[in-house]
Structure 1
Amino acid sequence: MRLNNKQKHKGFTLVELMITVAIVGIITAIAFPSYQGFIKSTNRGAAQADLVSLASALERHKAASFTYKAAAESSADTGKPEIFHQHSPSNEPYDDRQYDLYISEASGSAYVIEARPVTGSLQASDGKLAFYSDGRRAWDENNNGSIGSDEYCWNC
């Protein structure tokens, strides 16, 4: 039995497969950073929502005790909150947290609460978020450890 030279072979050549893999690699290299940026932004938004919810919990605490003090663990004035979740996103398990929530200042009439990025998480280089009892919101966008005068917004 002789093969006809004009007979068509079915399948892909190695060159065609290599070109396809290269194209998929290029698309992935372009899309992956955008995807990670989207995830970081989503996690930051969840932390902002959790800070507002923690602020509401602090207001309820003040309505009951006439002070913002003693709202943290072991009835301390500062530290991880006892009256609300201690992490964000608060609807996720603790092991999947991206931020730890803290009461960094509390007095009889004012408070400052923060969402601090968890070391080793996707948010680690994102900078802390802060919410003040007077309604100010801040994001340490450059992640230098302090809130600059131009960082008093969450969507700078």
Structure 2
Amino acid sequence: MKTHSNSGFTLIEMMIAVAIIAIIAAIALPLYQSQMEQTRRTTAQADLLELTQWMERRYSNGFDYRDGGNNPILPFDQSPQNGDAFYDISFVGNVARNAFTLQAVPTGPQTNDDCGTLTLDEQGNRGADQAAGCW
């Protein structure tokens, strides 16, 4: 008489495996999303610094941040510069002859970031809706 050995997973073993995967996913997904928000924020900070340097080069040429009395047209107005925008970059109000403030306003999935809008002015003063730990 032959005996057949069943090999495979039982329903209980499969349910335990699914439960373990669900627990790991519940922990990993928020951590991943938080890391992505931080990465996008860092890119926006670098883009604000790049635009501030661009404005300083303009000022060194004519001792005026403005373009004929008007706000200059920025070389790019989103972050990242290519691809899907996670921040819209613009000036806060009007640019003065010797002063300006740039802002990066979160859009799309980045609106969930606790730091909110990032700002940077001509003196290097940095700001955010939630200032602690955002820069």
- Range of TM-score over shorter length: 0.7 to 0.9
Q: Highest relative contact order (Cα 8 Å, sep 6+), 1 or 2?
A: 2
Unaligned runs of 5+ in 2: none
The 1-side partners of 2:24 and 2:96 are apart by: 53
The 1-side partners of 2:102 and 2:128 are apart by: 12
Three-state SS of the structure 1 residue aligned to 2:91 is strand
Mapping of residues 7-156 of structure 1, within 5 Å: 7-70=4-67, 76-77=70-71, 82-90=73-81, 92-93=82-83, 96-104=84-92, 105-118=94-107, 121-126=108-113, 127-141=116-130, 151=131, 154-155=134-135
The 1-side partners of 2:74 and 2:80 are apart by: 16
Deviations 1:84-137 (A, max 9, x none): 2110012x31xx11000001241110110000011xx12113310000111110
Structure 2 CA distance for partners of 1:65 and 1:128, relative to 1, 3 Å: same
With the length of structure 2 as denominator, give the TM-score of the two structures: 0.87
The 2-side partners of 1:82 and 1:152 are apart by: 31
Unaligned runs of 5+ in 1: 142-150
The 2-side partners of 1:44 and 1:107 are apart by: 27
| Contact preservation (8 Å) 1:137, 1:153 | no
Three-state SS of the structure 1 residue aligned to 2:88 is strand
The 2-side partners of 1:152 and 1:30 are apart by: 25
Cα RMSD after superposing both structures: 2.1
How many residues were matched structurally? 132
Q: How far 1:64 sits from its partner (Å)?
A: 2.9
**Which stretches of structure 1, 4 residues or longer, exceed 4 Å deviation after superposition?**
none
